[in-house]
Amino acid sequence: MQELYKLYLKGFGEDMKLLNWLERRFGRYAIPDLMKYVVGLFIIGFVLGTFYPLVYFRFLMLDFEMVARGQIWRLITWIIPVETDNILFFAISVYFYYLIGNTLERHWGPFRLNLYFFSGIIFNFIAAFITYLITRQSIVMTASFSIICSTLFLAFATLYPNTTFYIYFIIPVKAKYFAILEAGIYFFYIYNYIVRGQYLLIIPLVVAFGNFLIFFFATRNYRRFSPHEFARKANFRKQMNSGGYQSGSSYSKGRSVITRHKCAICGRTELDGDDLEFRFCSKCDGNYEYCMDHLFTHEHFKKS
């Protein structure tokens, strides 16, 4: 059993090595600030959906029969997300995608965010092509790009599950609960399409969610889920409790407690809460570490 678990960890370690190799090999081709271009596509789609709703379906959607007749631009233009929502809701949604995407780019780097988007687009295209070969029907994939963007929040919630959002600026809800709700909506739509027999509509949902799962499992550090790691954390908490440690204090009962992480702004450490996460800032001169509440809001330290 232990040998199987080692093989399990080794498999995901190979995935991480592959991603690292791809980033070293092709990282220079990544598009920086990708979310700016994503927002631009959404704006184009909103204008088309509002003022010229038939243009997309007549000239831009992915239709393999028309591609065979020479309309090659359809291989690219189908990714434009045609939107017809209320302009206020549209603006809020796109701004939210922009913030989430930029946060992921700072965490992953431009290459991995590019890989997430373009792999989702490629998977959708392959699924549509296979479906066309089987059914001779081209899938109307107007929502595919929007679904890929919506799964960005699932990726964000796996990295920062305890980030708090405020509904109507009043009700606090953590990102992980929003993610559970979003995943539930995905499965509800899939179930609803199956009941109705609209199997082709399932494809963009399954592909987008599958793309998220592939990227999620390929970028996680699974060694922290090993039995040895669980035992180490339990032993650490036991030692802290036996030493009389109280949250927020570096000294208790005359004994000093050595911490591994400390926020340079508020001074909190990993002992102040099990849900606290810390990151180093690459833009500060020196090894300055911050909690997630201050990582993106602090003033960068520069040596004079």
Q: Is the pLDDT of residue 40 over 90?
A: yes
Higher pLDDT, residue 53 or 85: 53
The residue whose two tokens read 């009941």 is: 195
Per-residue pLDDT, 14: 47
Range from 58-67, 136-145, 162-171, 225-234 that averages highest in pLDDT = 58-67
**Window from 13-22, 53-62, 113-122 with minimum mean pLDDT:** 13-22
pLDDT, residue 236, reads 63
Buried b (16+ CB within 10 A) or exposed e, 169-207: eeeeebbeebbeeeeeebeeeeeebeeeeeebbebbbeb
232-269 pLDDT per residue, tens = 666 666 665 655 444 444 444 445 566 788 888 888 88
In degrees and rounded to multiples of 5, residue 291 shows phi and psi of: -75, 170
CB distance 128 to 138 below 8 Å: yes
Sign of CA dihedral 153, 128, 190, 220: negative
Nearest to 209 by CA among 179, 171, 248, 242: 179
pLDDT at position 9 is 41
State phi, psi for 246 to the nearest 5 degrees.
Answer: -120, 140
Q: Of the ranges 133-142, 148-157, 161-170, which is most confident?
A: 148-157
CA distance 272 to 286: 24
More reliable by pLDDT, 275 or 16 = 275
| pLDDT value of position 222 | 45
Share of the chain above pLDDT 90, in %: 9
126 vs 200: which has the higher pLDDT: 126
Give 106-117 as a DSSP string: HHH-HHHHHHHH
What is the predicted pLDDT for the residue at 248? 44
Binning pLDDT at 50, 70 and 90, where does residue 39 land?
very high
In degrees and rounded to multiples of 5, residue 163 shows phi and psi of -65, 135
So what's the pLDDT on residue 220? 56
Range with the lowest mean pLDDT among 111-125, 176-190, 199-213, 280-294?
Answer: 199-213
Among the listed residues 227, 189, 162, the one whose alpha carbon sits nearest the alpha carbon of residue 6: 227
Domain residue spans in the chain? 2-222, 259-304
Q: Decide: residue 234, CB within 10 A, 0-12 exposed, 13-18 middle, 19+ buried.
A: exposed
pLDDT band at 108 (very low <50, low <70, confident <90, very high): confident
CA atoms within 13 A on the CB side of 236: 13
Per-residue pLDDT tens for 167-218? 777 888 888 888 898 888 888 988 888 888 877 778 777 877 777 777 776 6
Q: What is the model's pLDDT at position 232?
A: 60
The 3-state DSSP composition of the chain as helix, strand, coil percent (nearest 5) reads: 65, 5, 30
Alpha-carbon distance of 163 to 295, in angstroms, equals 12
